[in-house]
Amino acid sequence: MRIILVGPPGAGKGTQAARLVERYGIPHISTGDMLRAAVKAGTALGKEADAYMKAGDLVPDAVVIGMAVERIGEADAQKGFMLDGFPRTRPQAEALDAALSAAGVQLDAVVLIEVDDSLIVERITGRRTDPETKRIYHLKFDPPPAEVADRLVQRKDDTEEACRARLAKYHGETAPIIPFYEDKGLLKRVDGVGSPDAVTERLVAALGG
């Protein structure tokens, strides 16, 4: 199963990615992990990426795509893989598609977890973290016990302003990859509203079991 997982921030991608890689026995490939592993291993692309990062620059798409193709070629990815967090833009999607084609790799699906913006804002802004235990609660969906409520904090990333900024970035930069994959017949839309188990069932059904 060769999958790309897409969805807005707060859609539950992290939870579902973990479940899907376990179900299908495939590696979860995130660009951050991939970059760190390549730098640590000292590969040619890793050294190139490291130079950009040390200079405070973004790693160019061509380098990231080269790493992705390299990573997909490793033994544990022969039965499939899940790409998460990349591509983030339409040009990246087009370049990745060309690189995968050149490497003889065919995607099975691009899965889009859909959640309305208003619910995402509710999900994210309601999160509170216990600084002592690091446990994350939600004021509505997973309320904290009264004895810890007073010490809970809201992360800066979880304010409404930060949340709406991330959503705007997603709609402006990442959402344009959706019609690209739809035109290729690869896109599978899955409703991300409901319990994690219900969403997992929908994902598995969309992927053919």
Catalytic residue annotation: 13, 88, 127, 155, 166
Distance CA 10, CA 14 (A): 9
CA atoms within 13 A of residue 197's CA, in its CB half-sphere: 0
Q: Please name every residue paired with 191 in a beta bridge, in sequence order, or none if there are none.
A: 114
In angstroms, the Cα distances linking 38 to 47, 48, 70 are: 8, 10, 10
Helices 61-72/44-54 angle, 10° precision: 150
Residue with tokens 């061509």, as numbered in its chain: 62
- Pair of tokens at residue 179: 């019609």
User: What six digits make up the tokens of 73?
Assistant: 């070629």
